[in-house]
Amino acid sequence: MQMKQHRSKVIVSLLAAVLGVFGAHWWYLRRPYAWLFTLVTLGLLAYAQTFPSWWDNPAFLLLFIPMAAGCIEALVFCLKPDAWFDARYNPGASIQTQTGWGPVLVAILTVFLGGTVVVFGIAATVVHVYTALGWLDGYQL
């Protein structure tokens, strides 16, 4: 009988916070369709490269959705009880998750990182839309 690999709540939270845009935490948890999540992100990045300014186009702005989703999922993993995480992702494992302060520190990092991503995403979207509509004509950005 083969033992299942024990998944760490702290590692999955860090992966979701930092590399959630690529779905790294989905690969770690062996979720189905993780490849689709990664493929969509890579496709948006490749499409953003075809514009003269890669940071000021709709494809790049759409990447803020999976970035924010990764941060939200990281917070969910951090804040759920260890028993819930074990029941869902480590069923029948011989090791019980005892996290301690790890998820708290990752949650704090995620709030700072996620807040920065969301505010930057909103600002970049507003500037892109205002420029496209001509509302910023004559202003130096």
What's this model's pTM, rounded to 2 decimal places?
0.84
The pLDDT of residue 16:
96
Angle at 71 between CA 13 and CA 11, to 5 degrees: 10
Q: Enter the tokens of residue 92.
A: 């029948």
pLDDT in tens, 69-100: 999 999 999 999 988 998 899 887 777 788 88
**Whether residue 1 has pLDDT greater than 50:** no
Axis-axis angle for helices 64-79, 9-19 (nearest 10): 160
Closest CA to 25 of 55, 66, 57, 56: 66
Q: Are 101 and 44 in contact (CB under 8 A)?
A: no
The mean predicted confidence, pLDDT, of the chain is 89
Axis-axis angle for helices 64-79, 34-48 (nearest 10): 140
The pLDDT of residue 110:
95
Domain ranges for the chain? 9-133
**Whether residue 64 has pLDDT greater than 80:** yes
pLDDT in tens, 117-126: 999 989 988 8
The pLDDT of residue 14:
95
